Amino acid sequence: MEINKRQTILLECDSSDINKLKNWLNFINANRNIKFIILVQPQRLTLFKNELMAYEKLTCISYNDIFNFENNHESVSASEFYDFNRFYVQDEITFRLLDRDGYLPKYGLGIQHGISYYSQKAMNTLHFLKENNVSFLCFKTTPHHSVEWLLAKAADFLNIDVFTTEKHIFPWLFSISKGYLRFRELQFKNEILEPLHEVEFHINKFIEINSKDYEFAIPKYEKDRLGKGIFKYYNPFKNLKDTIKRPHSFYTLTQNFFYHKKITKDSYTFKGKYIIFFLHFQPERTTLPDGYGFTDQLFAIRTLRLLLPENINLLVKEHPSMFTNKSEPKARNRFYYKSINNIKGVSMVNISVDSFKLIDNSIAIATITGNVALESYIRKKPAILFGRVNFSIDGVHSFTDINSLTIFLKNLLEGKIKINLNNNHLLKFCSKGVVSGLIEGHKNVKNYHSFGEYEENAQYKLLTKLIQTKIVEI
């Protein structure tokens, strides 16, 4: 079909590899009547402009260009400006993202200044989207920074489609959905996009890996962060430059590590039945915004504890990266750990305890959006997920409301929820609307958790299909 000249595609490419992007643009013949706006970080703008200058119908911008966009036509009315700011401010995620922005953001300290700053930039953002006739936006992941969130909310307000790519259960498989909030519309859900024999091969291999011991299955990115001996989980000397640059993080990490060690149990043999709650590393997208209502993991723990009978224990295990990577004061402190440990019927276990043994001896696991849900399912244990997930399969409960979780727990405790692991069930669930980030035909994969690389490979496949569907057949 003929492309409407007013249509424009806005692609968020903050972390994109410039060469992969160029290869994709060449593949889709980007100099045809498709207008692209490539959105990158300000510090990468010059690089992208220089590398992509050959594409006549392509513009590279940063958020500075959007936030400073001037318009003489006054395309945004006073009522639109007012209504949007109410729409923006009334979302709790807005406030949580502002709180996470850092210690010295552009607007100064405090959420009040943050709201003032972004309310001011909202006018420019609305103008930009309207004046450039943006047809739809594509984010590589759920918008999880304040600047991204404002752009997504503005597009949503103007009824401009927002698409997000996201992991589809397995760490190398991805899908694309319309929407950026908790409930999204999976695209191409009736179409097979990958050779099923390749998908099946890697699913079977991943299941085999995660059916063994934890030391064998631990993701490479976590293994690389571990030290040795007494410094296995706490090694302030591993990244001295970061320690010197961020002394507040070092102080928090040290205080948190030794307090956590003091109050936690170092055995996985507990009397009676228990559910094990695995905490996420924070700050990251998987809890903000993908926690949607459960960004505060303490809230999820308290909610679950209230729903459990007294004879069922709730164990909580910290994510090791909170000590092997970094420990931001806004994410963890002594009060946080003390608050968890003081809940009646809740016990924290030490990070040295084998996660797979904890899973195997539990009646179920709980987490916000973690990969541990898949590991648990593979080891035939039910899972409870509180946040945004694609994992809708028997034995895995995705939170929607208290009533449905209550029913799931009742069935769980009555022994009615059993997992009969069948590789074909997982293959069927991943057979449509899903693409792989692995190199085609590559079967000697040693690391299934190379998120950035696999995510970008998959994104270009999904974008090609999306453009074919929404604009023109390539």
pTM for this structure? 0.94
HSE, CB side, 13 Å, CA atoms: give it for residue 109: 1
State in words which class domain 8-193+449-470 has: alpha beta
Confidence label for 472 from pLDDT (cuts 50, 70 and 90): low
**Joined tokens for residue 39:** 């959105």
Question: Which superfamily, per CATH, for 226-429?
Answer: Glycogen Phosphorylase B; (3.40.50.2000)
Confidence label for 444 from pLDDT (cuts 50, 70 and 90): confident
Whole-angstrom distance, CA of residue 54 vs CA of residue 394: 51
**Which DSSP letter does residue 174 get?**
E
Question: Which of 161-165, 358-362, 440-444 is the least confident region?
Answer: 440-444
Structure confidence at residue 398 (pLDDT): 96
Whole-angstrom distance, CA of residue 470 vs CA of residue 277: 41
Structure confidence at residue 297 (pLDDT): 97
Mean pLDDT over residues 347-373, rounded?
Answer: 95
- Within this chain, domains 8-193+449-470 and 226-429 share the same CATH topology: yes
Q: Express the helix, strand and coil content of the chain in percent, nearest 5 each.
A: 45, 15, 40
pLDDT tens per residue across span 274-298: 999 999 999 999 999 999 999 999 9
| pLDDT tops 50 at residue 34 | yes
> Which residues, 6 or more positions from 204, have their beta carbon under 8 angstroms from its beta carbon?
423
Q: How many residues does the chain have?
A: 474
Q: With contact defined as beta carbons under 8 Å apart, do 399 and 405 qualify?
A: yes
| pLDDT tops 80 at residue 440 | no
What is the dihedral sign for C-alpha 74, 75, 80, 86? negative
**Joined tokens for residue 4:** 């409407």
| pLDDT tops 60 at residue 31 | no
Whole-angstrom distance, CA of residue 393 vs CA of residue 283: 28
What is the dihedral sign for C-alpha 414, 416, 420, 424? negative
Biggest alpha carbon–alpha carbon distance for the chain: 71
| pLDDT tops 70 at residue 4 | no
Mean pLDDT over residues 305-331, rounded?
Answer: 93
* DSSP bridge partners of 378: none
Domain ranges across the chain? 8-193+449-470, 226-429
**Joined tokens for residue 308:** 């459990």
pLDDT tens per residue across span 50-65: 999 999 889 999 999 9
Structure confidence at residue 2 (pLDDT): 38
| pLDDT tops 60 at residue 1 | no
> Which residues, 6 or more positions from 254, have their beta carbon under 8 angstroms from its beta carbon?
234, 236
Structure confidence at residue 431 (pLDDT): 94
| pLDDT tops 80 at residue 301 | yes
**Across the chain, how many H-helices and E-strands are there?**
20, 14
Element (DSSP H or E) covering residue 383: strand 383-385
Q: What are phi and psi of 358, to 5 degrees?
A: -60, -45
Q: What are phi and psi of 436, to 5 degrees?
A: -100, 145
Confidence label for 312 from pLDDT (cuts 50, 70 and 90): very high
Whole-angstrom distance, CA of residue 29 vs CA of residue 265: 59
Question: Which of 133-142, 358-367, 416-425 is the least confident region?
Answer: 416-425
Mean pLDDT over residues 95-117, rounded?
Answer: 91
Structure confidence at residue 259 (pLDDT): 95
* Percent of the chain residues past pLDDT 70, beyond the cut: 96
Report the chain's mean pLDDT, rounded to a whole number: 91
DSSP assignment of 196-235, as one string? HHHHHHHHHHHHHHHTS-HHHHS-HHHHHH--SGGGSS--
